[in-house]
Structure 1
Amino acid sequence: MNLTFKGFLRWYCRELTGLETDNLRKLRDSVATSMPAAAEALMVFAAVQDKAGYLATISQGTWMESSYAQMAEQLRDPEEVSFYLQSPEAPPRYRAVWNAYIAKRYAIAGERRIIAGMREKTLQAMEGRNVTVYRLCKDLGLNKGNIYAFLGKGDDTKVSQGTARRILEYACKAS
């Protein structure tokens, strides 16, 4: 999975506000009234869409007004947002948004390495116990195409870590 910064920000704003929308007005309303922890993520999300000025404008009259006006000036260029967030000039709460992205991005990479390791152990167990992919899919109720891609071609994006674990446990217990 290639997690983009913009994709992460979309997910992060939704996660922090509890709203399933990209609408800046709705997200702003949530931040202004009940979810202040999402304020910085929302401004960064707006900035990568080249809408930092717009968010600052629609936030007039809220507690975020001055902060958003100041950050809209700093985040004018959507191409430079990630560089600014990594710089010492960025306020710590805004740098924290970038740090959350990096943590999420590397967590996914780490999970993929774990899944790849489980694949190797699964293949060894299946070979030792004469378990077929067809039987495994049938018994566990899994999609054959995804499992063939995972086990046969090594595509670790086709299964979650939990599914890889279920497959490994099944292969080790099969008789």
Structure 2
Amino acid sequence: MNLTFEGFLKGYCRELSGQQSLSFRKLVEQATTVAPRVAEPLFLLALAQGKAEYVLGLSEGSWMEESYRGVLSLYGQAGSLASLCTEDKLPNRYANVWHAYRGVKEKPAADRRVNALMRKRTLEALEESGVTRYGICRA
């Protein structure tokens, strides 16, 4: 699975806003009215696509403006979106978006590790009990 952060943000914004459009104008409207949880991934998506100033202009006068200005300032210091997200300077609500992405991205590897551990324990339990795999399946 080759999920990019930008691809994740697009899906996340659609999910949180409840709409299929990725129009920044529509997403900002949703964030200021009925879907405030989309505000953080929306601005991170704007940073990824080089539209941060545009979204900042759309959010002017809203509750999101100050937060967006702070993150834009941090982005200017960090130089890239990846380094911004991995630093501890990012506000919690933005860092949570990054953590959600990492969780989705790393899920297949985590599942493989868990499956390998479960297989090992299952085989050990079968050996201790003296029951064969066939016997378990038949039962």
Q: TM-score if structure 2 supplies the norm length?
A: 0.74
Question: How far 1:77 sits from its partner (Å)?
Answer: 8.5
1:23–1:71 Cα change, 3 Å = same
Instruction: Tell me the distance in 1 between the aligned counterparts of 2:77 and 2:8.
Output: 19
Q: Distance in 2 between matches of 1:14 and 1:3?
A: 16
Q: Is this contact kept in 2: 1:56–1:68, CA < 8 A?
A: yes
1:109 Cα deviation after fit: 3.8
Indicate if the aligned counterparts of 2:71 and 2:90 stay in contact, CA closer than 8 A. Answer: no
Letter in 2 for 1:3: L
| Partner SS state of residue 54, structure 1 | helix
Aligned to 2:46: 46
Match for residue 80 of structure 1? 80
Q: How many Å apart are 1:110 and its aligned residue?
A: 4.2
Residue 21 to residue 10, structure 1, CA distance change in 2 (3 Å): same
5+ residue gaps, structure 1, are 118-171
Partner of residue 16, structure 2: 16
Q: Distance in 2 between matches of 1:45 and 1:26?
A: 14
- Contact 1:41/1:97 (8 A) holds in 2: yes
Provide the C-alpha distance between the structure 2 equivalents of 1:71 and 1:79, rounded to a whole number of angstroms: 12
| Displaced runs of 4 or more, over 3 A | 76-79, 108-111
Deviation of 1:79 after TM superposition, in Å, equals 6.5
Contact kept in structure 2, 1:48 and 1:79, CA below 8 Å = no
- TM score, norm. by length of structure 1: 0.59
What is the rounded CA distance, in whole Å, between the counterparts of 1:107 and 1:78 in structure 2? 27
Deviation at 1:58, TM superposition (A): 1.0
- State the number of aligned residues: 117
The Cα shift of 1:8 comes to 0.4
Query: Paired residue for 1:68?
Result: 68
Contact 1:52 1:72 in 2 (8 A): yes
